[in-house]
Amino acid sequence: MGSAQRLSWVVLLVATAGLLGALFGPSERWGGVDLGATGAAVFMLALAAAIWLFAARGDQVFPEHMSVSERRAWVGLAFIAVILATFMRQLWALSGRAVVPEYIHGLFSHQFLQRLITLIIAWSVISWLIGRQGGEVETDERDLRLRHRADRAGDWAFTLIVIAGICVLASIPAPLLAWWLSPIVLANLLIGLLIAKSLVEHVALAFAYRAGRA
């Protein structure tokens, strides 16, 4: 393992620690430190370090045998997981409110939206850098076959989640579901479902590439 790969693991571990602090840090200060704000700052610094690493030594971050498509699959998996965790954590935190939000600006804070936009931009930049370092992108029959397999896995996951949701609706009393069934919250739950589907597709695609080398 080269120095760039070791550094990428360090950045990944620091980003994970920062993300956990930002999402699950206590509301009160711990030892005089605001873990939520500190975790968010550490995560953003790790994100900036990741962009620098891919810009400066992007061809050394992944093993040489990995194709551009496989590298993008692993990066996409990481970003989709972060986006889904951030999205669901925000919804869960707001579910304790007594008043059901009526508009989108009442559901998500500006801080959350800024973080989401930052993640999408960073994902796009790193994906572009991977393509630049990897040269011309070649999509062969094997890539298409694996992508179709990942799409099928995502479709199955989507179907199973919908069936599970129907079972939940049928088994839980309506008063307990009032907040979640409000139009604006339900619309965002459907967005979360699509993000979860994309996560399953990226997991299936990344591990399909890995299994293909075994």
How does pLDDT run across 141-173, given as a tens digit for each residue?
A: 777 888 888 889 989 988 998 898 888 878 888
pLDDT-wise least confident of 13-17, 118-122, 196-200, 207-211: 207-211
Same domain, 55 and 81: no
Quick one: 33 and 130 in the same domain?
no
What confidence tier does 136 reach under pLDDT thresholds 50, 70, 90?
very low
Rounded (10°) CA dihedral 66, 56, 132, 203 = 40
Mean pLDDT, residues 29-45 taken together:
81
Length of the chain: 214
Buried/exposed code over 85-106 (b: 16+ C-beta within 10 A; e: otherwise): bbbeebbeebeeeeebbeeeee
pLDDT at residue 45 tops 90: yes
In terms of domains, do 75 and 102 share one? yes
- Together in a domain, 173 and 110: yes
Q: Does the reported pTM lie above 0.85?
A: no
Q: Residue 67 carries which DSSP code? A: -
> What is the total count of domains within the chain?
2
- Average pLDDT of the chain to the nearest whole number: 82
pLDDT at 40 over 80: yes
The parent domain of residue 38 ranges over 1-61
Q: Which amino acid is at 127?
A: S
